[in-house]
Amino acid sequence: MPIKPSVKLVLIGLCLGLPASLWLAMSWGSSGWLWPHRLSPEDQQVIWALRLPRAVAAWVVGALLALAGVLMQVLLRNPLADPYILGLSGGASVFALLGFTLAGTLGLTWLPIPLWAFAGALITMVLVFVLAQGRGAWSTTRILLTGVVIAAGWGALISLILALGPDASLRSMLFWMMGDLSYAQLSPAWLGGVFLLMALVWLRARNLNVMAQGQLQAQLLGESIQARFWEVYVLASLLTGIAVSIAGAIGFVGLIVPHLMRLIVGADHRLLVPAATLFGGSFLVIADTIARTVLAPHQLPVGVLTALIGVPLFLLLLNQAIRIR
């Protein structure tokens, strides 16, 4: 399909956004601009051992959430669906909070919180899968209802744990639930992993276009819908589970980024999948950089920043969408 010049420009810009956002995150911090002006060994240490791994973690989480958001919106055929709608973040939160409160009692302090969270997301994925399958046929309504009800159940458990939990860990629990990259450190090799996942989804992009037409129409156009829908469900859940384990339940990225990119590059998933992944990553790196610098030495939860930047950006683009396309 011939790509419009304006869309081409956007895609090139999004590709450049990856190094640009990482560069910004590495040079800007609570001590002001560091790079390339002053490079003492201590500064180098800060940049390469602290800021880069954190920026990589932010990029990976943002990209995964955006990609999972695209998949979840196709799966539920609803542009308002986000990666957390089926209770994955709730399950991850409950287990992470249990990790904060019970790890000491159970003698499980060696088990890092991300693994607790990932276990919670996986359990939720299997629970929704088993309960929603019913008599076997895929049903968007049934999976959505099952997921939303399970999410509500997790919500109640979260409140219970917060109410009964020790005051000392309350702050770190709240930070985790709002999404926090303070302790997230990933090696740049993870970027390659995300690109590999994105390529996998991209190979299925035309099938996603067909699935977005609805279950009946997709079958009539030759998709074996049962297998395809569960495939997308498992993939979207795993992507979300990984993202939540790394940085907690960062809101907004998975909902708004796919929407925003759809306004700019259109509904064709062959463009939407790479655009959303690239934008999601860079967006979260920038949001996290601002979150840790703007009120330094205080660090804001990045989830607050994603919403503060995302809301006006989204409203502006919604207004301009017709002119952009």
Partner 1 sequence: MTALSSTPLLNVDALAVAIGDVCVVDGLSLAIRPHEFWGVLGQNGVGKTTLLKTLSGLHPPTEGRIELMGHNMASLDRKTIARHLGMLTQQTRYAFEATCHETVLIGRHPHIGPWGHEGANDHAMADQALHQMGLADCRDRSCMTLSGGESRRLALATLLVQDPQVMLLDEPTNHLDPANQVSVLNVVGQQIRQHAKGGLMALHEVNLATCYCSHCLLLFGNGQWLAGPTHEMLTTQHLSKLYDCHMRLVDDGEHQVFAVGA
| String marking each residue 30-69 x if it binds partner 1 according to CB under 8 A | ----------------------------------------
Listed ranges 84-92, 124-132, 223-231, 285-293: which one lies at the site for partner 1 (CB under 8 A):
223-231
DSSP-derived secondary structure letter, 136: S
Cα 84 to Cα 154: distance, rounded to the nearest angstrom:
12
State both tokens at 251.
């809101």
Does 262 engage in binding with partner 1 (CB under 8 A)?
Answer: yes
Cα 287 to Cα 236: distance, rounded to the nearest angstrom:
23
Q: C-beta of 37: minimal distance to partner 1 in Å?
A: 45
Nearest alpha carbon to residue 21 among 316, 244, 308, 288: 288
Does 196 engage in binding with partner 1 (CB under 8 A)?
Answer: no
Does 268 engage in binding with partner 1 (CB under 8 A)?
Answer: yes
Q: C-beta of 77: minimal distance to partner 1 in Å?
A: 5
**E strands in the chain:** 28-29, 32-33
Q: C-beta of 265: minimal distance to partner 1 in Å?
A: 11
Given candidates 30, 44, 45, 78, which one binds partner 1 under the rule CB under 8 A?
78
| String marking each residue 270-289 x if it binds partner 1 according to CB under 8 A | x-------------------
Given candidates 11, 23, 79, 183, which one binds partner 1 under the rule CB under 8 A?
79
Nearer CB in complex with partner 1: 3/131: 3
Nearer CB in complex with partner 1: 40/224: 224
Number of H helices, E strands in the chain: 14, 2
Does 141 engage in binding with partner 1 (CB under 8 A)?
Answer: no
Does 247 engage in binding with partner 1 (CB under 8 A)?
Answer: no
Distance, CA of 108 to chain centre: 27
Q: C-beta of 13: minimal distance to partner 1 in Å?
A: 21
Which residues neighbour 234 within 8 Å (Cβ) at sequence distance 6 or greater?
125, 129
State both tokens at 20.
């640009």
3-state SS assignment for residue 217: helix
Given candidates 11, 15, 43, 77, which one binds partner 1 under the rule CB under 8 A?
77
Q: C-beta of 181: minimal distance to partner 1 in Å?
A: 31
Nearer CB in complex with partner 1: 262/292: 262
Residue whose entry in the numeric block shows the structure tokens 């019913």:
134
Nearer CB in complex with partner 1: 6/44: 6
Nearest alpha carbon to residue 225 among 245, 211, 236: 211
Nearer CB in complex with partner 1: 27/213: 213
Cis peptide before 297 (omega within 30 of 0): yes
Q: Is 183 exposed, middle or buried (0-12, 13-18, 19+ CB in 10 A)?
A: middle
Does 137 engage in binding with partner 1 (CB under 8 A)?
Answer: no
Given candidates 209, 293, 309, 317, which one binds partner 1 under the rule CB under 8 A?
209
State both tokens at 76.
């539920």
Does 261 engage in binding with partner 1 (CB under 8 A)?
Answer: no
Cis peptide before 2 (omega within 30 of 0): no
Cα 45 to Cα 241: distance, rounded to the nearest angstrom:
31
Query: What residues make contact with partner 1 under the rule CB under 8 A?
Result: 1, 73, 77-79, 203, 206, 209-210, 212-214, 216-217, 219-225, 262-263, 266-268, 270
